[in-house]
Structure 1
Amino acid sequence: NPVSSEPQSVAAIERALQDLIQVFGLQDVLPHCVLAHIDVQSKVESLAPGSTALWFQSIAGTDTANATFGISVEKMTEYARSRTGRYGLYFETGQGADFTNGHSHGFDMVLHESRKYGFARALTRVMDEALRRDGGRYRPWVHLNDVAGFIGPEVFRTREQLVRCCLEDIVMGKLHGLCLGLDVCTTLHMDVSLDDLDWCLDQIMPANPAYLMALPTKIDPMLGYLTTGFQDHVRLRSRFGFRVDDRMERFFRQLGVIDDEGRPTQHFGDPLWVFVQYQRRKGDGRRESEIRADGESQLEEVRKRGVFIARGHGKRPWELAPSLASDIRRIYDDAKKSIWSTLSPQFVAAVPEVRALHTTSRDRAQYIAHPETGERLRVDSQDVLRSLRRRHAGAYDVQIVISDGLNALAISDPGHLKPYLKRVRKRLTDAGFRVAPEHLVVTSGRVRAGYRIGEALFGGLSGDRSVLHVIGERPGTGHHTFSIYITRADGGVWGEAGKVDHDITKVVSGVAVTALQPVHAADDTVRVLLSIRS
């Protein structure tokens, strides 16, 4: 899952994954895939033919919701016709995505989800026809990943509701003839805990989803949500008698991490052992101790970036090593604290040229449970914007907005906001932009609150106008990170209520003193803004 959708960044990840699979001789067993927009993956493939394998795209069950993803039935049909190799398409769905994007159209989430499966099945048939015309060497490799629970508490409040959703989707997926797997997950602002997820898995697995997603721990170090860990697969196989795919099981035996009976060996959970095997297959003739030392230094670099390394295990092979388990609990507790934190009046007042705005959320609890209240501005805040528009008289083409989002600490932590604002203002001015002097600080602000601000300030004006929305990200990564949502559109587009949405917005994410440095994020912001043409 890339932090950047720039083609060169996606291409670099594609090459790294492809190298890993080819070195271990698995290219005919499983594909590699980077979860960029399908247009970007197509661009990467055109620039470097053969560099991509499986193509990913999130899909929805209505035209309007698909437009938010930047796709259409026609576009996806053309892509399906072009997929005539071994690997085809990977779709991602999840109950509630349409609703939270304002495209419910008056019918429920289950029906929306079933329509997505119908869409996936139709595209699979298009691909099948294309493969037959191409000689019929392959059957369509298509799978669908149901990300159940990713949206938040506005969709599911309890672990029982999450289980119900997963079971509904498994049934619908099987009835549609799809290879459907699950990302049984929860966000940190839902009342579903780490232990609850284990309970959910135990209820769901007898229904036999095609697969489960997994991460080295239960916490995604980029998106900050909880899901299945690699170790959970080991536990579930032991409990329910499931097995690894035969070809992968042979590979794991050859690798030496399991024995002929499928039991863990002394190398189980040792990434350095796997690194040694990787280097040997690439012709590395160094002593094993030297390769391990090299690997150890690389692991340390990864850890410094806040990425969790699942190394070793506890008393049982499906338990995390005690120190790592403790770290995960600490990060979980910090995330819960971050969710409920707010920007203090003192912090807001200290922001230069500040104008304080408020959404219609009456408190933090409503903001979390009903995100749409964080997308609309209070009447008095709308008055502030009208006054500001009159004062500006069209003189500025960039407005900086700052919101607490789901992690106010990401905004208020020392070394975060101040250096970013100083650098980005200078870079914008140097690039010829006219930046409004005021910083609009929104309490209980969601991303779409920035679009409403842009409409109020820029609607109907001539020329391109931009909103840079600095907002606290979902906590749970181990960092307090913020993102910058970058939206550039003509004043006429800003003048159409609701026209500006996520599909024309780009993002710089993962910004913190412990991750992407704020000053570097400022440089990236201006670079991305310059690349956008309305």
Structure 2
Amino acid sequence: MKRLFLIAAMLVVGILTLSTNSHAIAIKSVKPGEDVFKYIQRVKGSFDQVLYQQVIGASNAFKEGDKTIGVAADTNTSRENARKLLANTKIKDITNHPLHNDDLYKFIAKSVDPAQYAKIKDWTMGRMKAFLLDKSEAEIKSVMYGMNSEVVGCLPKLMSNKELIAVNRKIFNPLPGTKIGAKGYLSARIQPNSPTDDPEEIMMQVLSAFSYGVGDLVLGTNPVDGTKEQTARVEASLKDVVDTFKLNGTIPWCVLAHIDVQREIFNEKPELIDCMFQSLAGTDTANKTFDISVEKMVDHAKSRAGQRYGLYFETGQGSDFTNGGAEGVDMVVLESRKYGMARGLQQVLAQVQPQGAYLHVNDVAGFIGPEVFRTKEQLVRCCLEDILMGKLQGITIGLDICSTLHMSVSLDDLEWCQDQIMPANPAYLMALPTRNDPMLSYLTTSYQDHVRIRSKFGYKVNDTMWDFFKRIQVIDKNGKPTKHFGDPIWVYYQYCKAKGDTRSQQEIMAEGKQKFDAIHNTWLKTGNKVPLASGYGKNIWDLNPQLDKKIRELYADAKKAIWAEFTPEFLKSVPDSVQLGTLSKDRENYIVHPETGEQLNKQSVATLQKLRDSWQGQTPDVQIVVSDGLNAKSIMAPEHTLPYITALRKELQAAGLTADKKNIVISSGRVRAGYMVGDVLFNNADPGKARAVVHIIGERPGTGQDAFSVYIAAPKGKVWAEKKVDHNIVKVQSGISKQATKPADAAKQTVKLIKELMAS
């Protein structure tokens, strides 16, 4: 449930009032020299925590997410007044008044340097801003560890984009033993994702990246299937590339499954785990959704004892409130708290890693959607804010400059965004064959974006990896591209040679071309598999024209798919359907305000109650739910949902599990709408027996596969009755389509996961 703070109209001197937007904060005037706390005292008569959070939040540059949280300023005048109050506020007063006090806050507080804090505690925030703008890196580092994350999170609020860039250009926190994160360097995480976790597709994407002289941070794959077995399989595929090219100690590999899964693999086969990953949130509540805690993460950090590589984290503004864990705090401060958590864990790593704490953070700035922010200008602002907060907390911080297909940030807009952000010199960016992720269906940076940025801004690749690119002859001794630049088949030849293959160059390259074509040409023709970058256009940083044309076609198709709705014909075709609706007024309302799609309307709740009562105490084990999600086309495809349901019912019966004959169909339904179905249907069920909701929902479009996902929740009746079901206890199957994981195969895996969840 989103925490939406409704601001009561104030009678005290009429300073804080409701605007026409009930979630906006109005600060009509401030007195000379007044700070945040004096203002609150004047308005409220005593300290008020909610008003404190609102004033701090109102000083942010506008983003839709802050409006939902209930802390956005109603006008620019209110925003500027909030900033005046904040600039006059002392560091010690913010430190002594946590915006949210939880275990994470206490953990962050322990990472603050007390000697540095003593130097600056009596400074105002305005003085700290001036200090950051005027002083050198060494002088800044002599005080920056004296600030806790909430103080750091208040600094971007006082700065323009130009000022954020000016400070960011002065502070660098390179990873130990590398130039990654150093001044003048821009690294790349190769993101070789596959809709089927296919090892060959993953490997060929890595070789394609190497052909452009790209990839020096980590080989990092997002798995479709985050189970231990599949994660280990993908880890082994990435490890093979590193081992073959003798890049151990130069670049690590990582599979971005849950950290508990990676730890389990490490305990059994330590050689498969090189670097451990986890997403972080900014409050205990939001971290619970990710199934982590401070205590758990400290334990995982300690497990890296003696290892070369440590921890890799991903964050992003908005992840807290979209998971019901903002706790009334604005998105910028919450993001800063994530970096504070990383800083605390970095200090734990420093105690157990002999070569230095190897930890970095990737700020995934635009992945969630328009509920966080909508425009390219907001994306730039978000990235600049986050780089500053990461750097000021001693973190090696990179960016995923990205957008979703339901935001108003286009393929071409991303290049403009890159150019606005790059003067701030983040540590790294993502790197994919094109700007469109073939599995996650979002827009990000391509290999050739790195080539363009390096050319335009003069940034360099980590030295040891640049030497490798020279060794495989895609870069010459003078640092210039060779005739093999952009030729993944040549790199495949180098890969085979490194394995000791004695065949001729002609034979190996013929095999490489066959493998390349089997993947890339299949994708071009059918949408199956993944795109592979090769060659270039007019400039070496231009995507080759054929690939560029295809990506633009997929982008245009995805824009249409986002707005598609269930047709009457499809609704009639679903057997024994029970049709429900949510609080979304229309498709635009659903896209822009996703929380409306998480709640069923009153009529739908009543319909479910009637269905539940019709069971007369004979509650089935499983209820099937279908929602449109972000791609109704994927659900309506004849080869998808109905064949999956048919196969699922067959597998459930074979497993001895009962399923109600009704198929619940939700129009404008989000994932949490499925949990609400379970809350209603199973609230009177046996509290000690597990019941499952299988929620079939359309994935983000953009891959050309129109895939769907299945969310499986199967807790005991007591948990349903208490309405405690959320993402942290749910299993997900993704990438289900006729081109990727076949619906019939997915149905078998669904039942396997249901049984595992019910047994846990």
Verify: 1:247 aligned to 2:464, yes or no. yes
Verify: 1:50 aligned to 2:267, yes or no. no
Verify: 1:529 aligned to 2:754, yes or no. yes
Residue 359 of structure 1 contacts residue 377 of structure 1 at CA under 8 Å; is this kept in 2?
yes
Higher mean C-alpha displacement, 255-264 vs 315-324 = 255-264
Q: In structure 2, how many angstroms separate the alpha carbons of the residues matched to 1:402 and 1:471?
A: 6
Deviation of 1:238 after TM superposition, in Å, equals: 0.6
Q: In structure 1, how many angstroms separate the alpha carbons of the residues matched to 2:557 and 2:529?
A: 14
In structure 1, the residue corresponding to 2:270 is in which secondary structure?
Answer: coil
Q: Which residue of 1 aligns with 2:697?
A: 471
Q: Which residue of 2 aligns with 1:355?
A: 578
Q: In structure 1, how many angstroms separate the alpha carbons of the residues matched to 2:627 and 2:296?
A: 35
In structure 1, the residue corresponding to 2:379 is in which secondary structure?
Answer: helix
Q: Deviations over 1:100-135 (max 9, x none)?
A: 11111111100100000100000110111233xxxx
Deviation of 1:300 after TM superposition, in Å, equals: 3.2
Higher mean C-alpha displacement, 178-187 vs 410-419 = 410-419
Q: In structure 1, how many angstroms separate the alpha carbons of the residues matched to 2:639 and 2:755?
A: 26
Deviation of 1:260 after TM superposition, in Å, equals: 1.8
In structure 1, the residue corresponding to 2:691 is in which secondary structure?
Answer: strand
Q: Which residue of 2 aligns with 1:513?
A: 738
Q: Which residue of 2 aligns with 1:415?
A: 639
Give the one of 509, 512, 534 matched to 1:295: 512
Verify: 1:387 aligned to 2:610, yes or no. yes
| Matched AA of 1:398 | V
| Matched AA of 2:621 | D
Deviation of 1:83 after TM superposition, in Å, equals: 1.1
Residue 68 of structure 1 contacts residue 501 of structure 1 at CA under 8 Å; is this kept in 2?
yes
Deviation of 1:75 after TM superposition, in Å, equals: 0.3
In structure 2, the residue corresponding to 1:27 is in which secondary structure?
Answer: coil
| Matched AA of 1:235 | R
Q: Deviations over 1:368-412 (max 9, x none)?
A: 100000000011000100000000134211000000000000001
Q: Which residue of 2 aligns with 1:26?
A: 247
Q: Which residue of 2 aligns with 1:74?
A: 295
Deviation of 1:301 after TM superposition, in Å, equals: 3.4
Map 1:252-401 to 2 at 5 A. Answer: 252-303=469-520, 304=522, 305-395=528-618, 396-401=620-625
| Matched AA of 1:181 | G
Q: Deviations over 1:424-474 (max 9, x none)?
A: 100001101110000000000000000000000012411110000000000
Verify: 1:402 aligned to 2:626, yes or no. yes
Residue 306 of structure 1 contacts residue 479 of structure 1 at CA under 8 Å; is this kept in 2?
no
Verify: 1:65 aligned to 2:291, yes or no. no
Deviation of 1:293 after TM superposition, in Å, equals: 2.4
Higher mean C-alpha displacement, 403-412 vs 258-267 = 258-267
Q: Which residue of 2 aligns with 1:106?
A: 328
Q: In structure 2, how many angstroms separate the alpha carbons of the residues matched to 1:294 and 1:525?
A: 37
Q: Which residue of 2 aligns with 1:209?
A: 426
Q: Which residue of 2 aligns with 1:449?
A: 673
Q: Deviations over 1:224-282 (max 9, x none)?
A: 00001110000001101111111111111111111122221111111110000000111
Q: Deviations over 1:6-48 (max 9, x none)?
A: 1111111111111101111111111110000000001111221
Q: In structure 2, how many angstroms separate the alpha carbons of the residues matched to 1:290 and 1:530?
A: 48
| Matched AA of 2:315 | T
Residue 487 of structure 1 contacts residue 504 of structure 1 at CA under 8 Å; is this kept in 2?
yes
Deviation of 1:99 after TM superposition, in Å, equals: 1.1
Q: Which residue of 2 aligns with 1:7?
A: 228
| Matched AA of 1:71 | I
Residue 403 of structure 2 contacts residue 444 of structure 2 at CA under 8 Å; is this kept in 1?
yes
| Matched AA of 1:230 | Y
Q: In structure 1, how many angstroms separate the alpha carbons of the residues matched to 2:672 and 2:700?
A: 15
In structure 1, the residue corresponding to 2:603 is in which secondary structure?
Answer: helix
Of all paired residues, the percent bearing the same amino acid is 55
Higher mean C-alpha displacement, 256-265 vs 119-128 = 256-265
Q: Which residue of 1 aligns with 2:385?
A: 168
In structure 2, the residue corresponding to 1:484 is in which secondary structure?
Answer: strand
Q: In structure 2, how many angstroms separate the alpha carbons of the residues matched to 1:408 and 1:146?
A: 30
| Matched AA of 2:308 | R
In structure 1, the residue corresponding to 2:431 is in which secondary structure?
Answer: coil
Q: In structure 1, how many angstroms separate the alpha carbons of the residues matched to 2:666 and 2:436?
A: 28
Q: Deviations over 1:53-99 (max 9, x none)?
A: 11000011111100000000100011111112110000110000001
Verify: 1:483 aligned to 2:483, yes or no. no
Residue 216 of structure 1 contacts residue 230 of structure 1 at CA under 8 Å; is this kept in 2?
yes
Q: Deviations over 1:318-365 (max 9, x none)?
A: 001100000010010011011000111221121000000001001010
| Matched AA of 1:30 | I
In structure 2, the residue corresponding to 1:459 is in which secondary structure?
Answer: coil
In structure 2, the residue corresponding to 1:146 is in which secondary structure?
Answer: strand
Residue 311 of structure 2 contacts residue 359 of structure 2 at CA under 8 Å; is this kept in 1?
yes
Verify: 1:156 aligned to 2:373, yes or no. yes
Aligned length: 528
Q: Which residue of 1 aligns with 2:658?
A: 434
Q: Which residue of 1 aligns with 2:443?
A: 226
Deviation of 1:297 after TM superposition, in Å, equals: 2.6
In structure 1, the residue corresponding to 2:449 is in which secondary structure?
Answer: helix
Q: Which residue of 2 aligns with 1:117?
A: 339
Q: In structure 2, how many angstroms separate the alpha carbons of the residues matched to 1:126 and 1:260?
A: 41
Q: Which residue of 2 aligns with 1:134?
A: none
In structure 1, the residue corresponding to 2:485 is in which secondary structure?
Answer: coil
Q: Deviations over 1:208-237 (max 9, x none)?
A: 101111111101111000001110000001
Q: In structure 2, how many angstroms separate the alpha carbons of the residues matched to 1:295 and 1:521?
A: 31
Q: In structure 1, how many angstroms separate the alpha carbons of the residues matched to 2:458 and 2:617?
A: 67
Residue 183 of structure 1 contacts residue 214 of structure 1 at CA under 8 Å; is this kept in 2?
no
Q: In structure 1, how many angstroms separate the alpha carbons of the residues matched to 2:733 and 2:519?
A: 20
Map 1:168-207 to 2 at 5 A. Answer: 168-207=385-424
Q: Which residue of 2 aligns with 1:95?
A: 317
| Matched AA of 1:408 | A
TM-score, with normalisation over the residues of structure 2?
0.69
Higher mean C-alpha displacement, 223-232 vs 121-130 = 121-130
Deviation of 1:299 after TM superposition, in Å, equals: 2.2
Q: In structure 1, how many angstroms separate the alpha carbons of the residues matched to 2:534 and 2:638?
A: 32
Give the one of 459, 469, 484 matched to 2:683: 459
Residue 384 of structure 2 contacts residue 424 of structure 2 at CA under 8 Å; is this kept in 1?
yes
In structure 2, the residue corresponding to 1:509 is in which secondary structure?
Answer: strand
In structure 2, the residue corresponding to 1:436 is in which secondary structure?
Answer: strand
Q: In structure 1, how many angstroms separate the alpha carbons of the residues matched to 2:226 and 2:304?
A: 21
